[in-house]
Chains A and B, each alone.
Chain A
Amino acid sequence: MAEHEHYEAIVVGCGPGGATAAATLARNGVETLVLERGVEAGSKNVSGGVIYAEDSAPYTIDDLFPDFREEAAERPITHNYIHNIAGEKVKTFDLTEIHEHDTEWADAVLRRRMDSWLETRVHEMTREAGGGVLTGVRANGLYRENGEIVGVTTDELEPITGDLIVAADGVNSELARDAGLMDWESPDEWFQGVKAIVDMPDGAIEERFDITEEQGETHLFSGDLYEGVRGGGFLYTNEDTLSIGNVFHLDSIVEERAEVVDLLDALLTHPLLAQWIGDDYEELEYSAKLVPDSKKVAHPSPTEDRLVLVGDAAGQMQAQGPLIKGMNHAATAGALVGEAFAVARSRGDTASAGERYVSRLYDEGVMAKIRPAVYDRSRAVTEHRRVSALTDGLIDTAIGRAGLDTMIRTGIVERLYNSPRMMQILPDTTTPYATLPTAIAKRHGERIEEESAVEPPTLEERIGELTYDTDIGNPHIVVEDESWEASGAAVTACPVSAKDFGGGCYREEVRSNGYEERVVSFDSQPCVECGTCAIVADTRWEHPRGGKGVEFKQG
């Protein structure tokens, strides 16, 4: 057996999952090496994002990083609303109750700032325990000896072995894929998030939202502004910027052949947002990333040999109704892994760490939240095509309308939106995303008088504003089947491509060699590494090697 560099624990990824895992390990004196592919932690990451500290969670991020809220977060979230939209009519409900359910605190964050702050703390902690954080290093696979997973291989270093390998490498985890624990096959298991960071003049947030510096808001949007694509929009207040974006079911984007950049612009230019954005629209960053749907893919037993998966890599990303909770679950899972290993090690049985971690996920109620049994049970009925057609149809009948009217008048709709149980069984059909909100807004909404002066940048301008360090001659994505049938969906689904856009990653082409053939051509340069075409096109998909590719400044 070859001699390799060895650390007790190797953590791949320095997002919330990796950071908490490493911090917990280091606190327990475990020699821990953290590998992060970005030039700095956060430079690859995109969230909405509001990070929650749940009352019921065994660990929250500030348990491990006490100064987190003051130093790494933007604003505490104190008010929450959902807006149902039909054309220019809007009906708004207060969501503060569901938001506050099981919530100790919730803060808006920007990932570059948050994760780079975490990185510094984690490096200090792990260095003391004999390891440390290395940026610009990308794990490209698992290292096996006699068929057993014992370490990782990277683009930059010799293979490294560990007694514990934590895959906290986020969505599209190459390590989880290599272990055969996750696949990248079905679009219906994913959401795609696309977002813009909007600059706000000094004091504008306080004035336009009528809040203090210690307050912040979340606004969610659903209804007919997305032309039937299932999903919704969000707006979160940061210190002096706004995060505005959409999260859609990936299968719906594919089915509708929706131009995701147009859907973002539909939200940005909706008159409802004019009161907040104002007349001068200045976009600081355009970004996108996939989001796993924990209801469907949270792995029931995310471990194999010495490998454990945490956070998005394990599919632990909870999107139920208007709630998006991924960062908090990643942080909890990371801490549980760290603890499980520390216990296993103290018993001289490090091999049991994975099993111990999985039991803790169940015992602490994490699995019940991210993969609720009631969803699996009710899904057969609520997502059945005919049931959904029936409810969609019903809402549009006189009876349906009358029922809805009563429900709104008596406050039932607002109560339902604020019911955690209701949110758990919400089906993934158009009913809750579009049909119902549109019907509500049509009959009960108020017309927005204001006009939008927002002129979003073009896709070309957006790409032009991004920072890239392209790995020339070494593309991280290769299209294996360029036929329209296999990979055509990416032309519209890729957030930096569009049918009428000559630049971008994916382009439609008609080739004629005797007969006409519709194909896609591909250029990886403008890629924002969102993961979409790993699922919707026939590609050989990897992340770029350490430090290469896109670099988000906001995230």
Chain B
Amino acid sequence: MHTVVLTKGVPDFREGQVSFDEDGHLERGKTPTVMNPNDKHALRAALQTKVRNGGQLSLMSMGPPGYGDVLGEGMETVYADDLYLVSDRELAASDTWATAITLATALEKVGEPDLVFAGFKTADGETGHTGPQTCWCLDWPIITHVIALDVDEDSRTVRAKRLVEGDIEEVETVEAPMPACIIADPEFTPSYRQASHRLTHKDLRAETEARAQDHEAHMTTWDHEDLNLDPDYIGLDGSPTIVSSVDPIPKAPAEREATMVEANDEEGMNEVLDAMTPFAAETSGAAGD
């Protein structure tokens, strides 16, 4: 059993981490890179497979050399055995299509994994295309919006509960032969209902802690030549997507006027109360229905 998780580094959009310039453009250099927060659902699902079904688990990413640290971080979260980074100047500015071709090629080079997990969508691009497109390149079945997963190695099938069209109210169970591609939904809940699962979990945690100390020793870096990729089909040249423009979201203007009243200003407070009374009457009227 071999599982690969595709992950990506994104700018850390959390308050206090992210920097924008005066025009509201992201300052990549000043903003630290972290693992795409939406990948954590994929990681949870992959971890469940690693714990319950064993085998080898690899983390793969495409991006600048700095993504190596993101992979190292991911190693501990998902108890990965090894890391793959596809990194090359020629690959810069790839859109989701070019990325998918590159990743699919890399997955083939890794050696035909049984399951590939990909994130829900990225925090920076928000397209949600990379996973499905990679899968399409590989010509594998894909199951999206997965909330629960069972892998049966003997019959080489995966059974998944998924949200139909991402709707929380509508759940269906589907089956697919392996190899297959799984896109985990944020609602994905791993299930460890056997003692043996949890014991393995503990073993893996201890094992990985040691390995992650020196994650670079477990990382393989490939460029386009290693993957035998034609530069015309990758990077900017291979990217059909044209981003017409990116509009900054305008700040919501404060339309209402505010009057400040000191708490000990009796007259002022009376005015506030007078102003509130009609609303109070409305609600108590409703309650009396």
Residues of A participating in the B interface, judged by any CB pair closer than 8 Å: 5, 7, 33, 35, 123, 127, 131-132, 134, 137, 156-158, 160
* Closest CB in chain A relative to B52 CB, distance in Å: 13
Q: CB distance B194 to A127 under 8 Å?
A: no
Q: CB distance A132 to B193 under 8 Å?
A: no
Q: CB distance A157 to B193 under 8 Å?
A: yes
Q: Which residues of B contact A123 (CB under 8 A)?
A: 202
* Closest CB in chain A relative to B58 CB, distance in Å: 26
Distance in angstroms between the alpha carbons of A137 and B195 in the assembled complex: 9
Q: Which residues of A contact B193 (CB under 8 A)?
A: 156-158
Q: CB distance B199 to A7 under 8 Å?
A: no
Task: Supply 13 further A-B pairs (C-beta < 8 A) apart from A137-B195, A156-B193.
Answer: A5-B194, A5-B196, A7-B195, A33-B195, A35-B195, A127-B203, A131-B199, A132-B202, A134-B195, A134-B198, A137-B198, A157-B194, A157-B198
Distance in angstroms between the alpha carbons of A123 and B202 in the assembled complex: 10
User: Within residues 190 to 230 of chain B, which ones have a CB less than 8 A from any CB in chain A?
Assistant: 193-196, 198-199, 202-203
Q: Could you write out 25 A-B pairs with CB less than 8 Å apart?
A: A5-B194, A5-B195, A5-B196, A7-B195, A33-B195, A33-B199, A35-B195, A123-B202, A127-B199, A131-B199, A132-B199, A132-B202, A134-B195, A134-B199, A134-B202, A137-B195, A137-B198, A156-B193, A157-B193, A157-B194, A157-B195, A157-B198, A158-B193, A158-B194, A160-B195
Q: Which residues of A contact B202 (CB under 8 A)?
A: 123, 132, 134
Residues of B participating in the A interface, judged by any CB pair closer than 8 Å: 193-196, 198-199, 202-203
Distance in angstroms between the alpha carbons of A2 and B183 in the assembled complex: 33
Distance in angstroms between the alpha carbons of A238 and B234 in the assembled complex: 67
**Chain A CB within 10 A, most for which of B193, B195, B196:** B195
Distance in angstroms between the alpha carbons of A359 and B26 in the assembled complex: 76
Distance in angstroms between the alpha carbons of A257 and B196 in the assembled complex: 48
* Closest CB in chain A relative to B146 CB, distance in Å: 22
5 closest A-B pairs (Cβ-Cβ)? A132-B199, A158-B193, A134-B198, A5-B194, A157-B193
Distance in angstroms between the alpha carbons of A35 and B194 in the assembled complex: 12
* Closest CB in chain B relative to A155 CB, distance in Å: 11
Dominant SS at the B interface?
helix
Distance in angstroms between the alpha carbons of A131 and B203 in the assembled complex: 11
Q: Which residue from chain A places its CB closest to the CB of B199 in the assembled complex?
A: A132
Distance in angstroms between the alpha carbons of A156 and B190 in the assembled complex: 13
Distance in angstroms between the alpha carbons of A157 and B196 in the assembled complex: 10
Q: Which residue from chain B places its CB closest to the CB of A4 in the assembled complex?
A: B194
Distance in angstroms between the alpha carbons of A526 and B199 in the assembled complex: 32
Distance in angstroms between the alpha carbons of A74 and B202 in the assembled complex: 29
Distance in angstroms between the alpha carbons of A5 and B193 in the assembled complex: 10
* Closest CB in chain A relative to B190 CB, distance in Å: 13
Q: Which residue from chain B places its CB closest to the CB of A126 in the assembled complex?
A: B199
Q: Which residues of A contact B198 (CB under 8 A)?
A: 134, 137, 157
Distance in angstroms between the alpha carbons of A459 and B199 in the assembled complex: 40
* Closest CB in chain A relative to B209 CB, distance in Å: 14
Distance in angstroms between the alpha carbons of A132 and B194 in the assembled complex: 13
Distance in angstroms between the alpha carbons of A468 and B199 in the assembled complex: 25
Distance in angstroms between the alpha carbons of A479 and B107 in the assembled complex: 59
Distance in angstroms between the alpha carbons of A157 and B202 in the assembled complex: 16
Q: Which residue from chain B places its CB closest to the CB of A154 in the assembled complex?
A: B195
Distance in angstroms between the alpha carbons of A5 and B194 in the assembled complex: 7
* Closest CB in chain B relative to A547 CB, distance in Å: 12
Q: Which residue from chain B places its CB closest to the CB of A136 in the assembled complex?
A: B198
Distance in angstroms between the alpha carbons of A329 and B25 in the assembled complex: 69
Q: Which residues of B contact A132 (CB under 8 A)?
A: 199, 202
Distance in angstroms between the alpha carbons of A186 and B196 in the assembled complex: 40
Q: Which residue from chain A places its CB closest to the CB of B203 in the assembled complex?
A: A127
Q: Which residues of A contact B199 (CB under 8 A)?
A: 33, 127, 131-132, 134
* Closest CB in chain B relative to A446 CB, distance in Å: 57
* Closest CB in chain A relative to B210 CB, distance in Å: 15
Distance in angstroms between the alpha carbons of A123 and B199 in the assembled complex: 10
* Closest CB in chain B relative to A128 CB, distance in Å: 12
Q: Which residues of A contact B195 (CB under 8 A)?
A: 5, 7, 33, 35, 134, 137, 157, 160
* Closest CB in chain A relative to B192 CB, distance in Å: 8
Q: Which residues of B contact A5 (CB under 8 A)?
A: 194-196
* Closest CB in chain A relative to B198 CB, distance in Å: 5
**Chain B CB within 10 A, most for which of A7, A134, A137:** A134
* Closest CB in chain A relative to B202 CB, distance in Å: 7
Distance in angstroms between the alpha carbons of A498 and B28 in the assembled complex: 58
Q: Which residue from chain A places its CB closest to the CB of B201 in the assembled complex?
A: A134
Distance in angstroms between the alpha carbons of A127 and B195 in the assembled complex: 12
Distance in angstroms between the alpha carbons of A279 and B198 in the assembled complex: 48
* Closest CB in chain A relative to B149 CB, distance in Å: 17
Q: Which residues of B contact A7 (CB under 8 A)?
A: 195
Q: Which residue from chain B places its CB closest to the CB of A134 in the assembled complex?
A: B198
* Closest CB in chain A relative to B194 CB, distance in Å: 5
Distance in angstroms between the alpha carbons of A48 and B203 in the assembled complex: 34
Q: Which residue from chain A places its CB closest to the CB of B200 in the assembled complex?
A: A132
Q: Which residues of B contact A127 (CB under 8 A)?
A: 199, 203
Distance in angstroms between the alpha carbons of A158 and B195 in the assembled complex: 8
Distance in angstroms between the alpha carbons of A134 and B198 in the assembled complex: 7
Q: Which residues of B contact A35 (CB under 8 A)?
A: 195
* Closest CB in chain A relative to B96 CB, distance in Å: 40
* Closest CB in chain A relative to B87 CB, distance in Å: 39
